[in-house]
Structure 1
């Protein structure tokens, strides 16, 4: 699978010191880009802060001015990715989403998310290793999922409201959680598959999500409740 190189996302949340001057901002950007490149090439576990500093061309002391440890670099990258994906989903919701029927809407959402995964190898490098679980990586993964659940929950409430129905916040959050975990895991699995099966898996993911949403959004009931009539 061919992957497009993209700049490392920058999130300054949680930095030891905020980069206020242009020179400091450029240094943080170089550190994050170096970390991303090494995480992709060597893996998160094998990458050290010394290697990141060397690859970025900055003294190790300068790295520690902004990032107390490798986990802080991971969090900054992960939050940057999360913010970028959030912006892309929000832009989609504000532009064409409301005009699409449910099938096309879900297919577009799945395609957007899949494109984000495939075009950001650094995102894959971080979250693939979350499966082998350090506490920091698991916390980062959960933080990213919480953001995605909030995005999908708001989108579901808006879509149902546009159709003249009401969806409670609790129901929307539960449905969004199911979608994020189901769609996300299937998309991750698809990344390692050969192109023909990968394309089929994406279509199956869309059909699964559509069938689930159609039932929940038309009945307004949980899986254990019978529809009236």
Structure 2
């Protein structure tokens, strides 16, 4: 489990036991936010769920919002770790595009599903400046990796073409992944497969040699 982001802690834990207590509080808070919503959640309920005293909770977090901010940053760090595992130079160069997308989408969906408090954590109130900064950095890193994928698969692409494609891929992914995670069962599975097909079709127009140049020429002549 990634370390808790420090800016929101009232007191920095000096021992592993303190870190474990913080993670237990964050895990409990995520469950409470998922069960009753951020607005209805209380620090007392979080402390009970974490099997700790309210005084112990306040030793680390001054209020409920500090807990939520720490959860946002923890989630973003887990997402960064997942992308680091998938968007490696080796996988970008050697894996077939359909298999690459299938594995990436599957694992991100599993991460989202394992965090039932994702929606109330992110959308209950305005994300903190730290959260916005981390989100922006993560998106930038992902777009750089996608640009690398495009460069490896089709060296003829310009830097501008890679940037446009990467930005579009991130937007498609965010939108359709959120749509899929709002569904259940087979509907979710079907929607995730649709996300894979959309990204595959879009990326292939850039990766297939010469295809994107022909598309650009056609658009320019209209």
Q: TM-score, normalised by structure 2?
A: 0.78
Q: Which moved more, 1:204-213 or 1:215-224?
A: 215-224
What aligned pairs does 1:177-188 form with structure 2 within 5 A after superposition? 177-188=167-178
Q: Any stretches of 5+ residues in structure 1 without a counterpart?
A: 1-7
Greater Cα offset, 93-102 or 75-84: 93-102
- Asked whether the 8 Å contact 2:82–2:108 carries over to 1, the reply is no
C-alpha separation in 1, matches of 2:57 and 2:150: 47
The answer to whether structure 1 residue 209 and structure 2 residue 199 are counterparts is yes
1:154 aligns with 2:148: no
Cα distance, 1:142 vs structure 2: 4.4
Question: In 2, distance between residues paired with 1:98 and 1:174?
Answer: 20
1:55 and 2:49 correspond:
yes
Over aligned residues, Cα RMSD in angstroms?
Answer: 3.3
Paired residue secondary structure (1:156): helix
Matches of 2:69 and 2:174, distance apart in 1: 19
1:44 corresponds to which of 20, 35, 38: 38
2:186 pairs with 1:196: yes
- 1:90-140 CA-to-partner distances (Å, cap 9, x unmatched) read 11223534212333322332222112112222334424xx1xx52237x67
Task: Report the secondary structure of 1:149's partner residue.
Answer: helix
- What is the deviation of 1:10? 4.4
2:104 maps to what in 1? 109
TM-score normalised according to structure 1 size: 0.76
Query: Which structure has the bigger radius of gyration?
Result: 2
Distance change >3 Å, CA 203–CA 57, structure 1 → 2: closer
1:1-229 matches, cutoff 5 A: 10-14=3-7, 15-94=9-88, 96-127=91-122, 130=123, 133-136=124-127, 142-143=132-133, 145-163=135-153, 164-165=155-156, 168=159, 172=162, 174-216=164-206, 219=212, 226=219
Q: Distance in 2 between matches of 1:74 and 1:29?
A: 13
CA 39–99 in structure 1, closer or farther in 2 if over 3 Å, else same: same
Tell me how far apart the structure 1 counterparts of residues 68 and 214 of structure 2 sit (CA, whole Å): 40
Checking the alignment, whether the CA contact within 8 Å between 1:216 and 1:222 is kept in structure 2 is no
Q: Matched residue pairs, number?
A: 215
Distance 2:216 2:108 in 1: 26
Greater CA drift, 117-126 or 153-162 = 117-126
